[in-house]
Structure 1
Amino acid sequence: MPQWYEESFGEDYLLVYKHRNRQNASFEAEQITRWLQLSKQDLILDLCCGTGRHTIALGRNDFRVVGLDLSKTLLSHAVSESAGLPIPFVHGDMRTLPFMDHSFEVVLNLFTSFGYFTQDRDNQQVLAEINRVLKPEGRFLIDFMNPESVKRKLVPVSEREEQGIHIREERKIAGDFVLKEIWVRDDKGERHYQERVKMYSMDRMEAMMEQAGLTIEQVYGNFRGEPYQTMSDRMIFLGRVYK
């Protein structure tokens, strides 16, 4: 049986998440540049890059960046939208990165592109791979949902129209997972998708990163740069690996 993340990141995903725009990505890329003190000599991996919003924003500022994603559909959009920029986009699984040890100065993992796997060992393996491909004292940024905020702000059901297409989303918490059921209906019929992401608390994320050899140096609660608090929107971890 295919996993949810093998089916959900297609053309309909682009419609459902149309609100994730290039302007926001440019602002976030500017923050990342300041926070991690990026230089033009750094080789940067955008891990789970999707359509390359942040990859392209960094590339347009002449940073050396590589995008990796499992979805060939999203990667094809990234390639198309990055036309003219020397950005390699690579197809791969974040648990087994197709790169040599110590390949990158920086790894980015943005907008809850973590916790996709049911088993903790698989999610832990993603962190281990980030360590493996980073050079000594390489920097990382992992942007993850804050479970407390998710629980407080969860909207059980929402419906809307996008370009004449009906979208219905149902959300719920099931144990340690946040689940989303998505129905997309148009003149071609109705399609159904599921998203299933494992929620990890701040303490658990810190423990998993420590186990993977990732040293956290700062945690922000959003891309405005506000310090993390219990009810912050996000958990944005910045740090280094010391080998």
Structure 2
Amino acid sequence: VRAEDEFTLFEWADHMVSVSNNGAASVVYREALLMAALGEDYLTLTPEESERFFKETPRDSLTNLSHAIVNDPLREMGITEDEWRLGGFFTNGPDRYVSRKGGSIGTPVGLMKFMVKMEQGEAIDAPSSLEMKRLMYLTDRRIRYAHSPRLNDAAVYFKSGSFYKCDRQKNPDCGDYAGNVFNYMNSVILVEHPDGTRYIVCLMTNVLNKNSAGEHMYLATAIDRILH
């Protein structure tokens, strides 16, 4: 995704989810903030009016609204602040107008609660839940947990992410996805087998000094043997 790219809002959401693009996520976040603030006036909003809105609206008002629109729905779904919260935009540019608040955290418990609500049609409402599930349907190359051969014939609704840190004084060769300070990798997946077997897995690992994609794949195989 480049700064000059133009997409529909749904396409931005797809880029956000399918390839974990932070720039796309910030665009979606910005548009959600504008929708919440402007209501029906959003439908006729011009880029110039959007820019003026951010420049003229007090920072504390923007910060509180941006925090509410992404966190209040989670609380309404029964997901606590310590299970999942977002403290700000995914890129640094919006910091000119919107401050961060409360820090960010995600846990397997919070993600599992969200996935269950989505599958029940209660992530906001049934249409919203279905659209979120559509966005999670994996059509690209399957990686990490979803790479397990046991899932080859299954539909998978999948996201994976990593967060790692290297101390190169301890190991100058510490590389990507192989942190030696911490090396978190998470996988969230809804599996639907052709025979009707369906289940959800949310997990987080912290395997130091190596890319744990293989461990996630082996876990997927072991879990599927138990459940299917």
TM-score norm. by structure 2 comes to 0.30
Bigger proportion of residues as helix: 2
Bigger proportion of residues as strand: 1
- The higher radius of gyration belongs to 2
TM-score norm. by structure 1 comes to 0.29
